[in-house]
Structure 1
Amino acid sequence: MSLTGKTALVTGGSRGIGAAIARRLAAEGATVAITYAGNTAAADATVAAIEQAGGTAFAFQADAADPASQRAGVDQAAAALGGIDILVHNAGVATFATIAEDSDAIFDRQFDVNVKGLHVGTRAALPHLTDGGRIILIGSISGEMAFPATTVYSATKAAVAALARGWAKDLAPRNILVNTVQPGPIDTDLNPADGEFAAQMLSAIPLGRYGRVEEIAGAVAFLAGPDASYITGTTLTIDGGVTA
């Protein structure tokens, strides 16, 4: 339990990768708070799973696209936790559209959640974040390679990695380590391993399978723990070899 005595905030922690990260950090001993956009039942289920396993968790509703809501969620979480040692930004959205199909609304929504929400949330967390803390951003291999109809989403995830590199230098004087985890194809409700695009995607994965949410959570736990004390400004790609 390498995170015993630590506190962690996971944005977008009600389901999928975010919920798996929250559960894993709690299993490593951290007290965990999650924020969620609107799925109260899923958020409550994540908290219940952590508590049933002997951990402590809280959930707060916060819309990452709304700066006031995002700041309020971070402040509520920090108050409940008594400070933040580990900040994991997982909240994100994706809308698939070619440039001919795209719109201002589609563009704005993705940048508001995936980039601005990260920026606002991190700034809000800084007064509560302990020196020597960790910030871990969940990006995507889409930030490095193009897929059909994902250009704007890819641009947001490229921005996520850029933010991490810059913040790593900005926050180095406080020994706050900032890194990005870039998942590839991961089996979730939104991208199931048996979905309509799975066969096409599987042919591009050298390991021949989708990843599991627990595999992303394990990488986050590593970056949050003591063995990652000299890692900052880096990007850890977990994609079964897709970008190799």
Structure 2
Amino acid sequence: MDLQLTGRRALVTGGSRGIGFAVGRALAREGAAVALVARDAAVVKERAAALAEETGATVVGIAADTGDDASVAAMADEAARLLGGVDILVNNAAKASPGAFPEDALEEQINVKVRGYLRTVRALAPGMAERGWGRVVNIAGLAARSSGSVVGSVRNAAVAAMSKNLADELGPQGVNVTVVHPGMTRTETQIGVIATRAADRGVPVEQVERELAASVSIGRIVEPDEVAAVVAFLASPLSVALNGDPIVPSGGARGAIHY
């Protein structure tokens, strides 16, 4: 299937690793020019160069802190200079935690993952609206649908609410906004969490992974590239029927029914 992304210009925050880097790869393979954004300038430029060599696409690295207004404004200017504009925004930047978030981390998490996402939308969506087409994909998480972490649930539920508001606002201007709730995904962070749990319990890593996989209906943990394939579709013109809607590439979390 041709996702009709050739010639489109995409920016992916949190793009130097995990789901963000996988999304950058998927978009580049589909013919988009891609800007990877992360806080560490050396790392993001190195990752962008590697991806450009791998895919043959235009891939650039931009250092920015989405928790800071001035940094996001500078990022938008740099993306315009390097790519000529941005048609697709994938918001993925967030501060991870190897375990449960402490409750005093709430303000920081809101600033980076919620207000940070909104900052980038406000910086880039006007150009999309002016051109009459754009896509915004906000990466949240299944903590939005379950208890167990006040901070995790609040930040992801807030991203979902923000996405629906933006979809209603920007949809008439040709800009679709969706929210993606990945479930357990084999990112660098998740691999570390599994290893820590195994060490704490004194059991093999494989045992912990089997237990976690049992909660997923496909019987295994989803890979970053599999989440990225879903995001690439949402970033394409073919996804026009989805706006404000939550998408859950979890492999099928067992139990709850959402309708």
CA distance in 2 between partners of 1:66 and 1:115 (Å): 12
Q: Which residue of 1 aligns with 2:81?
A: 79
* Alignment partner of 1:212 is 2:223: yes
User: Structure 1, residues 111-136: CA drift from partner, whole Å, max 9, x if none?
Assistant: 11110101111111123323221011
Partner AA of 1:229 in structure 2: V
Equivalent positions of 1:72-111 (< 5 A) are 72-95=74-97, 96-97=99-100, 102-103=103-104, 106-111=105-110
**How many residue pairs were aligned?**
238
Structure 1: give runs of 5+ residues left out of the alignment: none
CA contact (8 A) 2:125 2:134 kept: no
Say if 1:10 and 1:22, in contact at 8 Å, map to a contact too. yes
Give the structure with the larger helix fraction: 2
What secondary structure, in the 3-state scheme, does the structure 2 residue paired with 1:116 have? helix
Q: Distance in 1 between matches of 2:43 and 2:170?
A: 36
Distance of 1:139 and 1:7 partners within structure 2: 22
1:9 aligned counterpart, secondary structure: strand
Specify the SS of the correspondent of 1:171. Answer: helix
**Residue 143 of structure 2 aligns with which residue?**
142
Question: Aligned letter for 2:217?
Answer: P
* Aligned equivalent of 1:126: 125
Contact 2:47/2:61 (<8 A) preserved: no
Identity %, equivalent residues:
36
Q: CA deviation at 1:76?
A: 1.0
Shift of 1:102: 2.8
- Residue aligning to 1:154: 153
2: CA distance, partners of 1:151 / 1:188: 22
Deviations 1:124-182 (A, max 9, x none): 112332322101100101111123xx211221010111111111110122111000111
> Take 1:201 and 1:75, find their aligned partners in 2: how far apart are those partners?
43
Kindly provide the amino acid, as one letter, of the partner of residue 49 in structure 2.
V
Q: Structure 1 pair 153/58, CA: closer, same or farther in 2 (3 Å)?
A: same
2:59 match: 57
Alpha-carbon distance in structure 2 between the residues aligned to 1:142 and 1:233 = 18
Whole-Å separation in 1 of the counterparts to 2:95 and 2:145: 17
CA-atom RMSD in angstroms: 1.9
Q: Is the 8 A contact 2:9 2:86 kept in 1?
A: yes
Name which of structure 1's ranges 137-146 and 196-205 shifts more when overlaid on structure 2: 196-205
Per the normalisation by structure 1, the TM-score is: 0.90
Structure-2-length-normalised TM-score: 0.85
CA contact (8 A) 1:138 1:182 kept: yes
Unaligned 5+ runs, structure 2: 198-207
CA contact 1:17–1:188 (8 Å) conserved in 2: yes
CA distance in 2, matches of 1:203, 1:196: 19
Describe the superposition over 1:86-122 as per-residue Cα deviations: whole angstroms up to 9, x where unpaired.
Answer: 1110111234447xx532xx12211111101011111
User: After the TM superposition, which of the residue ranges 17-26 and 121-130 deviates more from structure 2?
Assistant: 121-130
Name whichever of 69-78 and 33-42 sits farther off: 33-42
Q: What is the letter of the counterpart of residue 236 of structure 2?
A: G
How far apart, in 2, do the equivalents of 1:213 and 1:46 lie?
17
Cα distance in 2, alignment partners of residues 188 and 180 from structure 1: 19
Greater share of strand residues, 1 or 2? 1
Deviations 1:40-59 (A, max 9, x none): 22541243223332110111
Q: Is the 8 Å Cα contact of residues 94 and 110 (structure 1) preserved in structure 2?
A: no
